[in-house]
A and B are shown apart, each in its own frame.
Chain A
Amino acid sequence: MSEALDRIVDALDIETYFYCKSEEEARDLAEALIAELRLPHGDIVFLEHRGWGARVRIRTYIHRPGDHYRWMDKKEEAK
């Protein structure tokens, strides 16, 4: 995993707006995006379709409480 991802304290949210015809399609697209971005255990936090598109927020936890937190790992550093 990259250093930047390691530094995420807990959740990584992705917010966007899909061009789509229905809430169902938006859900499919959100799930497809989770798969494309390989988000582990990605979840749709919020999804609302109006008119020609849907407002979506997707979340994955990089670190869950009780995990091993990589942002706590020591880097090689000054003595």
Chain B
Amino acid sequence: MKTVLLAPLDPVHDNAIKLLRRKLEDAGYTAVSMPPGTTEDEVVEKALTLHPDAILVSRTLGYKVAETLGRLVDLAEAAGLREKTRLGVGGMAITREVGAELGFDATFAGDLNMADVFAFIEGKALQAEASKLPTVAREKPSVVEGYTYTFKDKKIEALLDQITTQILSFVSDKTSDGIERARLREEMLDQPAGSPVLTQLRARYIALCDEETAAFYNNGKLPSGVRWLGAEEVARIPEVIETTLAPHEPLQHAGKRPYIFVQYGTGCPVMDIMHIKTAEAWGADGILHFDPSWGAQREGLLEGCLTHEHDGTILTYDNLNLIHQYKDPATMWNVRGHRGLNTAETQILGARAGADLFKINIPYGGTAGGTDPERLTVDGVFSLRLAAKYGLPFDIPGNDELSGVPPHKTFAGILIMMMLGLKLGGQPIPKPLLCYSPYMQIYGYMDDNMVDMNTAKLAVWREIVDTPIWPGEPVGFMTHTPDRVQSAMTTAAHVALAATLGVDAITMASSDEAYSKGPISAPARVDSLRAVRDLLRFMGSAKFLPTPKASDLLEQIHRGITETLQTIADRGDFTASIYEGHLGSVDDGLYPGRTGRGTVRTLK
């Protein structure tokens, strides 16, 4: 094993050296450290007897310090050490420029990255290389790994079985233009460009689109504000992002989970790529594609690399492909298709472009998502079959809570989706929303603190079923303000609470979450990721301590879920239950969606 000589070259401080020594010894190196106040001569003299593979010096740059460091390097060369011993320096204000001026082989600026230090000692790659390529090839993690989906609450399991049997029976003889388009798209993607078969398939596809979408295919008419992405812009991406590649430094401090996801969808795939690379560089594990809201309300999707100056990046195979090409291979990628008329086709595009996760929620899409419940039930079940076919887990966001729906009704809807997915061979992931929802505000459940209710909302899942849990979307919803620090802080607090409750993944916001007059900015992503990193560091393996009220809330939610499911089971008609408000009523601020009403066809 290699030997490393550590020297503080500082009259007083050697904390960095002590830390380095411990970490090097843990990694199996022989680390010899010198005390504070050691001179350059003593370091070189020690090296002459020790013959270390590397000397690491820690020093804060200050008055005449550069000269001291420069002399160390010069003396090391005068003593003939430099041919075999590599010299590294780290400390406050030590930049790469300073390191190069002083003649060091490597600099370690900012937070200590041990992967860089090991690479340097091993002489495998200098820091310049280490900062360009991940030093450890990351493997893509799995959110669902380790869960059996065994129901602990047998009553709920029985109710879900009853409800989903009805749903599957209801959809068994039904189809829609959305489903037929998905089937056509799957065939189209197998055809070479320009083939006559493709032209025929596309003609059939266009026949199933609404007028606006058909106009795109027939007359090349782009929706308002949309433009083609230039070939030159696309060609420039690799060069532009080359400099942004950085080793992945996990945000997690204690353990590997929860995996941290961020949402993107600036409207422009190129800007998305920059934001994705930014999020990756600051530690995000996964990303979620957000499309424009109009994409859910139209029959049919567009084709090609398209950009526009509005929220949400247009869902096309080419846009997804472009993004997939540049995201880190180990970054988990969720393409959402949970709420609109193109839900089924979205799963096809996502799967073909390399997505790792889908997002499907019929009750949410059929209410707050604006799509007719009957249509989304038919398209949604078809989508769940696709998720199972492609072997991709799907998550079920509980964002209907934002309308004012109580958690137990939202969770009942999520559970129905879970059971549907399980019956069709899928791997569902419930996404309870940690938020300051209207329901909490009206009924005062968070008047004292935000820990009890959020703890109850996560703990209830552990009582019901052995499932991964992924709070979103994003956590802390409605606690954010346009103040940057407040926003990053409240995101971090919710992430930390969820993390200490043992969840598997979390979707977090940027500090622009509550700013509505412009797109999310790259610096806003960094703000929140930095805050999360530090709060996870702060918490480590420690836990929040909820008040006894959390147990009451847990019991209340659990009971509410059972009652809701009982009502729906008794009603015997899932879509009717949505229309009638059993999963969220007009009183709860929820209205059945209308887009696509009357478009479900019964197969002969």
Which A residues have a C-beta under 8 Å from some C-beta of B?
Answer: 9-11, 13, 15, 43, 45-46, 48, 55, 57, 59, 61, 63-67, 69, 71-72, 74
A19 to B482, CA, bound (A): 21
A64 to B272, CA, bound (A): 11
Q: Smallest distance from the beta carbon of B158 to chain A beta carbons, Å?
A: 49
Tell me if A61 and B518 are in contact (CB < 8 A).
yes
Tell me if B267 and A65 are in contact (CB < 8 A).
yes
Chain A residue contacts of B521, Cβ below 8 A: 9-11, 13, 59, 61
Chain A residue contacts of B266, Cβ below 8 A: 10, 65
Chain B residue contacts of A72, Cβ below 8 A: 233, 236-237, 240, 270
**25 A-B pairs with C-beta separation under 8 A:** A9-B274, A9-B521, A10-B519, A11-B521, A11-B522, A11-B523, A13-B521, A43-B518, A45-B515, A46-B483, A57-B482, A61-B518, A63-B271, A64-B518, A65-B268, A65-B272, A65-B308, A66-B267, A66-B268, A66-B307, A67-B268, A71-B240, A72-B233, A72-B270, A74-B236
Which B residues have a C-beta under 8 Å from some C-beta of A?
Answer: 227, 233, 236-237, 240, 266-268, 270-272, 274, 278, 307-309, 481-484, 515, 517-519, 521-524
A64 to B522, CA, bound (A): 11
A13 to B518, CA, bound (A): 12
- Assess A9 versus B522: contact at CB under 8 Å? Given A65-B266, A65-B267, A74-B236: yes
A9 to B521, CA, bound (A): 8
**Which residue of A45, A63, A69, A72 has the most chain B CB atoms within 10 A of its CB atom?**
A45
Tell me if B236 and A64 are in contact (CB < 8 A).
no
A45 to B523, CA, bound (A): 14
> Nearest chain-A residue to B278 (Cβ)?
A9
Tell me if B483 and A69 are in contact (CB < 8 A).
no
Chain A residue contacts of B307, Cβ below 8 A: 65-66
> Nearest chain-A residue to B307 (Cβ)?
A66
Chain A residue contacts of B484, Cβ below 8 A: 13, 15, 45-46, 57
Contact of B271 among A10, A46, A74 (CB under 8 A): A10
A-B contact count (CB 8 A): 72
Chain A residue contacts of B237, Cβ below 8 A: 72
Chain A residue contacts of B524, Cβ below 8 A: 11
> Nearest chain-A residue to B229 (Cβ)?
A66
Tell me if B523 and A13 are in contact (CB < 8 A).
yes
- Assess A57 versus B483: contact at CB under 8 Å? Given A11-B521, A72-B240: yes
Chain B residue contacts of A66, Cβ below 8 A: 227, 267-268, 271, 307-309
> Nearest chain-B residue to A77 (Cβ)?
B239
Chain A residue contacts of B522, Cβ below 8 A: 9-11
Chain A residue contacts of B267, Cβ below 8 A: 65-66
**Which residue of A10, A48, A55, A61 has the most chain B CB atoms within 10 A of its CB atom?**
A10
A71 to B274, CA, bound (A): 11
Q: Smallest distance from the beta carbon of B489 to chain A beta carbons, Å?
A: 14
A48 to B483, CA, bound (A): 9
- Assess A46 versus B518: contact at CB under 8 Å? Given A11-B523, A69-B271: no
- Assess A46 versus B240: contact at CB under 8 Å? Given A10-B271, A65-B266: no
Q: Smallest distance from the beta carbon of A2 to chain B beta carbons, Å?
A: 19
Q: What would 10 more interface pairs be, CB under 8 Å, given A43-B518, A65-B309, A72-B236?
A: A9-B278, A9-B522, A45-B517, A57-B482, A57-B484, A64-B309, A64-B518, A65-B271, A66-B268, A69-B270
- Assess A65 versus B519: contact at CB under 8 Å? Given A57-B484, A72-B233, A74-B236: yes
A13 to B485, CA, bound (A): 13
A12 to B407, CA, bound (A): 39
The 10 residue pairs across chains A and B that have the minimum distance between CB atoms: A11-B521, A65-B268, A65-B266, A66-B309, A65-B267, A65-B271, A46-B482, A9-B522, A66-B268, A66-B307
